[in-house]
């Protein structure tokens, strides 16, 4: 598919029009949703009726308007395998499962994202080390979040005004020094 066609399809998805009449689905394309459904975590993908609750509850879509879980699910259901598996969007999900709590169809979008990541690795869209790096980033960001919260807990009964950027720089500084020292052979 050309980039122009993909852009037009995504535009139509955003406008909520039906694409089945526009896209000629090949047998391979039709098979993609079943492939995702066979992967652990993707079992309920075909139950989605595009209500958009996943997108509305997603903390990533709150900060990045390009990230739209409903659009990703629609692309899966329409068989846009190459576009989905080669997309950077499947790596942006924080796997927080907030979408899963609200989904009326029990699609479990975060689990679908894990399934897509596994397929992407297995089919060579990304190197296996990429998922390992994403997992390290996820763990690190959770550690930083926990440290930020612990840093303000003693102020929880007072009116609080904290600059998140300043707080994070104070927390990350010691970690950065430790990493740099390790890189120079010091412990």
Contact 37, 112 (CB under 8 A): no
More confident call, 138 vs 23:
138
Shared domain check, 54 and 18: yes
Evaluate if pTM is beyond 0.85: no
pLDDT band at 168 (very low <50, low <70, confident <90, very high): confident
Q: What is the distance between the terminal CA atoms of the chain, rounded to a whole angstrom?
A: 52
pLDDT (tens digit per residue) in 86-134:
999 999 999 999 999 999 999 999 999 999 999 999 999 999 999 999 9
Shared domain check, 97 and 10: yes
Return the beta strands (E) in 40-83 as ranges.
none
What are the two backbone dihedrals, phi and then psi, of residue 81, each rounded to the nearest 5 degrees? -55, -55
Shared domain check, 73 and 12: yes
Shared domain check, 136 and 50: no
pLDDT at 26: 57
Contact 122, 55 (CB under 8 A): no
Shared domain check, 134 and 92: no
pLDDT at 173: 75
Q: Within 13 Å of residue 46, how many CA atoms lie on the same side as its CB? A: 12
Shared domain check, 93 and 114: yes
pLDDT (tens digit per residue) in 39-85:
999 999 999 998 999 999 999 999 999 999 999 999 999 999 999 99
Shared domain check, 142 and 76: no
Shared domain check, 147 and 135: yes
When computed from its CA atoms, the radius of gyration of the chain, rounded to whole angstroms, is 20
DSSP 8-state symbol, 43: T
Question: CA 117 → CA 53, 110, 132, distances in Å?
Answer: 22, 11, 11
Estimate the share of the chain in helix, then strand, then coil, as percent rounded to the nearest 5.
65, 0, 35
pLDDT at 21: 44
pLDDT at 12: 62
Token pair 């924080």 is at which residue? 94
Range of the domain at 150: 129-183
Contact 54, 102 (CB under 8 A): yes
Shared domain check, 63 and 24: yes
- 26: CATH: 1.10.1060
Shared domain check, 104 and 14: yes
pLDDT (tens digit per residue) in 131-154:
999 999 999 888 888 988 888 888
Shared domain check, 18 and 39: yes
Residue 124 neighbours by CB distance under 10 Å:
9
Shared domain check, 109 and 142: no
Q: Within 13 Å of residue 93, how many CA atoms lie on the same side as its CB? A: 27
Using CA atoms, how far apart are residues 109 and 88, in angstroms rounded to an integer? 16
Give me the number of domains the chain comprises. 2
128 burial level (CB within 10 Å; 0-12, 13-18, 19+): exposed
């Amino acid at each position: 598919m050309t980039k122009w066609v993909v852009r037009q399809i995504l535009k139509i998805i955003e406008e909520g029009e039906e694409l089945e009449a526009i896209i000629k689905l090949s047998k391979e394309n039709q098979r993609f949703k079943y492939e995702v459904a066979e992967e652990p975590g993707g079992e309920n993908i075909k139950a989605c009726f595009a209500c958009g609750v996943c997108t509305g509850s997603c903390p990533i879509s709150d900060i990045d308007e390009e990230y739209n879980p409903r659009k990703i699910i629609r692309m899966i259901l329409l068989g846009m395998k190459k576009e989905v598996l080669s997309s950077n969007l499947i790596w942006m999900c924080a796997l927080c499962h907030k979408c899963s709590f609200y989904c009326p169809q029990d699609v479990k979008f975060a689990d679908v994202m894990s399934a897509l990541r596994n397929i992407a690795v297995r089919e060579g869209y990304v190197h296996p080390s990429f998922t390992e790096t994403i997992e390290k980033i996820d763990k690190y960001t959770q550690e930083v979040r926990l440290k930020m919260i612990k840093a303000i807990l003693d102020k929880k009964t007072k009116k609080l005004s904290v600059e998140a950027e300043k707080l994070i720089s104070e927390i990350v500084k010691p970690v950065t020094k430790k990493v740099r020292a390790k890189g120079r052979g010091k412990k």
